[in-house]
């Protein structure tokens, strides 16, 4: 889900540089758990590593959701901050299949929702609770779902500590990944993929860069580097200016459906585009000026995004009405309410092994304090595509997939940013043809690929591609992980 584009970024603080612990690694002081089967069903097992003295992991077996595989829940503990996660083994071949990390967006949208709504082993969108989901992405992969940053979903801080930039969040995720792989020997060297949607377009390039850069330090300390195999971004908010300007195309042209905004408003939007493009480039891209960038984003969002938002339509699927209040149901009515009800029942909470912190607190699908903290730092206006380009230069494949019916993180803005992204393969990508891709002879969307970069559309899907087209989304993932082409 995407929260970031629905409100305005405000003031700014300097982004934190990624720092790594480089303490000497003494193999004699470290004993790996080695196998997940050694974990307890009744209590947490603590995982630590001397190279990451501020980070540890608690994990235990948790029989829920998918009765066909082993499931685990736990916390990534960063001193007084605690990130909740789920881990499901592959339904096919857990000893050989790739490992996939999933995050939702926001910032402040919990990956718990991605699990129970979109691509997890069970769905809880109906009143009867969680039921087995045949098109889950753990069909062919071992998969993590992490509620991050701290304060999102089932994650919390003892004393109200916050994370307010993606750079800060990336440090914690990179450390967690290293500790996990170092403990569970069978996963060492296994292909590892970052995947997510929406504001994940900002998260994942930085998470991938942090893991890639951290590998140098792992090697120096005698640890096995993480085999970062790809980054997969669905309906991402990666380059904010391309996306903001694309709202005119989605609302005022037949980019996906007939125009929905009035002619008079569309004329005003069209007239604002050249000025906004120039202002955003000068204030946020060529040189980053906090006050000027914040003002440019606010004014231009009001001018170009405001008319669509004023209609009260569904920002995640322009072909559907908004069912319910946006910030409580994200326009999907009973589907999201049923998930909240399921997660707030005592039996579910007991299965998840939640910390006592949540004994008197209900699950919520949007953590507004997290969103506001990131917005205050104008985190979304940073040039995230630079990290993505750097990963491509280092041989890390990138998949950008987009549901055609999405408005808020739409196909037009995503195509413009990948076309404009500067890297050594840019010209070849620009010249590559846009082909159809299909499943069993049925056209699913369009595909453009060159080198390590692939851009792909999914017809009949909105912001949450696995929700709208689950079978097709699973096949997309299977082909991306295990085949050379679509």
Measured CA to CA, the distance from residue 306 to residue 247 in angstroms comes to: 9
Residue of 62, 155, 198, 230 marked active site: 198
> Buried (b) or exposed (e) across 71-105, using 16+ Cβ within 10 A?
bbbbbbbbeebbbbbbbbbbbeebeebbbbbbbbb
**Pair 113, 84: CB distance under 8 Å:** no
Domains and CATH numbers, the chain: 4-239+380-482 (3.40.50.1820), 243-324 (1.10.287.410)
What does each of the 486 residues of the chain score in pLDDT, given as a tens digit? 444 443 323 222 222 233 333 333 344 456 777 777 778 887 888 888 888 999 988 998 887 888 889 899 999 999 999 999 999 999 999 999 999 999 999 999 999 999 999 999 999 999 988 999 999 999 999 999 999 999 999 999 999 888 999 999 999 999 999 988 988 888 999 999 999 999 999 999 999 999 999 999 999 988 999 999 999 999 999 999 999 999 999 999 999 999 999 999 999 999 999 999 999 999 999 998 999 999 999 999 999 999 999 999 999 999 999 998 887 789 998 999 999 999 999 999 999 999 999 999 999 888 999 999 999 999 999 999 999 999 999 999 999 999 999 999 999 999 999 999 999 999 999 999 999 999 999 999 999 999 999 999 999 999 999 999 999 999 999 999 999 778
Tell me how far apart the alpha carbons of residues 476 and 473 are, in angstroms, rounded to a whole number. 5
The DSSP letter of residue 135 is: T
CA distance 391 to 400: 14
Helix (H) or strand (E) holding 334: helix 333-343
Nearest Cα to Cα of residue 294 among 284, 306, 285: 284
Tokens of 383: 């040039």
Q: What secondary structure does DSSP assign to 418-461, as a single string? A: HHH--STTHHHHHHS--EEEEETTEEEEEEEEETTEEEEEETT-
Please tell me the distance from the alpha carbon of residue 374 to that of residue 430, in angstroms, as a whole number.
33
Residue 272 and residue 301: Cα distance in Å, rounded? Answer: 10
Residue with tokens 């991605």: 114
406 is catalytic: yes
Q: State residue 250 phi and psi, 5-degree precision.
A: -70, -35
387 catalytic? Reply is no
Determine the pLDDT at residue 19: 34
Give rounded-to-5 percent helix, strand, coil for the chain.
40, 20, 40
Active site residue 317: no
* Residue 441 Rama label (left phi>0; alpha psi -120 to 50; beta): left
- Whether this model's pTM surpasses 0.75: yes
User: Does a cis peptide bond (omega within 30 degrees of 0) precede residue 107?
Assistant: yes
Three-class SS of residue 175?
helix
Are β-strands 442-450 and 453-458 bridged in parallel, bridged antiparallel, or unpaired? Answer: antiparallel
So what's the pLDDT on residue 101? 98
The reported pLDDT for the residue numbered 285 is 96
Q: Which of 97, 249, 305, 406 is catalytic?
A: 406
How many Å apart are CA 367 and CA 359, to the nearest integer?
Answer: 18
Choose, from 56, 66, 463, 468, the residue flagged as catalytic.
463
Q: Where are the alpha helices (DSSP H) in 109-227?
A: 111-113, 166-183, 200-220
């Amino acid at each position: 889900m995407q929260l970031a584009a629905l409100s305005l970024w405000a003031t700014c603080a300097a982004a934190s540089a990624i720092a790594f612990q480089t303490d000497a690694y003494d193999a004699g002081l470290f004993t790996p758990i080695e196998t997940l089967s050694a974990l307890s069903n009744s209590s947490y097992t603590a995982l630590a590593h001397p190279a990451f003295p501020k980070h540890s992991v608690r994990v235990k077996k948790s029989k829920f959701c998918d009765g066909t595989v082993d499931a685990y829940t736990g916390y990534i503990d960063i001193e007084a901050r605690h990130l909740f996660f789920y881990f499901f083994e592959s339904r096919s071949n857990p000893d050989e299949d790739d490992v996939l990390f999933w995050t939702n967006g926001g910032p402040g949208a919990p990956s718990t929702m991605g699990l129970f709504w979109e691509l997890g082993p069970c769905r809880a969108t109906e009143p009867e609770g969680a039921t087995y989901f045949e098109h889950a992405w753990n069909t062919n992969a071992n998969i993590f779902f992490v509620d991050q940053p701290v304060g999102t979903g089932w994650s919390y801080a003892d004393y109200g500590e916050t994370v307010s930039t993606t750079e800060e969040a990336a440090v914690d995720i990179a450390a967690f990944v290293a500790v996990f792989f170092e403990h569970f020997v069978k996963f060492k060297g296994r292909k590892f993929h970052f995947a997510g949607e929406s504001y994940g377009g900002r998260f994942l390039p930085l998470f991938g860069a942090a893991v890639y850069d951290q590998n140098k330090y792992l090697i120096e300390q005698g640890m096995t580097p993480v085999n970062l195999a790809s980054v997969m971004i669905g309906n991402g908010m990666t380059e904010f200016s391309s996306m903001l300007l694309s709202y005119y195309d989605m609302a005022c042209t037949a980019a996906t459906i007939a125009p929905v905004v009035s002619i008079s408003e569309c004329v005003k939007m069209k007239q604002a585009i050249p000025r906004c493009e120039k202002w955003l480039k000068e204030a946020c891209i060529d040189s980053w000026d906090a006050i000027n960038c914040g003002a440019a984003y606010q004014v231009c969002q009001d001018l170009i995004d405001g008319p669509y938002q004023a209609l009260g339509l569904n920002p995640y699927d322009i072909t559907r009405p908004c069912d319910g209040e946006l910030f409580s149901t994200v326009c999907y009515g009973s589907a999201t309410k049923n998930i909240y009800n399921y997660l707030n029942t005592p039996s579910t909470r007991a299965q998840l092994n939640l910390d006592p912190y949540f004994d008197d607190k209900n699950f919520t699908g949007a953590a507004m304090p997290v969103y506001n903290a990131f917005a205050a730092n104008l985190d979304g206006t940073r040039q995230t595509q630079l990290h993505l380009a750097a990963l491509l230069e280092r041989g890390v494949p990138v998949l950008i997939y987009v549901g055609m019916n999405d408005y808020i993180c739409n196909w037009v803005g995503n195509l413009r940013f990948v076309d404009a992204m500067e890297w050594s393969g840019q010209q070849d990508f620009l010249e590559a043809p846009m082909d159809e891709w299909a499943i069993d002879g049925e056209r699913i969307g369009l595909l453009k690929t060159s080198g390590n970069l692939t851009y792909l559309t999914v017809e009949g899907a909105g912001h949450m591609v696995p929700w709208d087209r689950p079978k097709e989304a699973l096949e997309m993932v299977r082909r991306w992980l295990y085949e050379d082409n679509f």
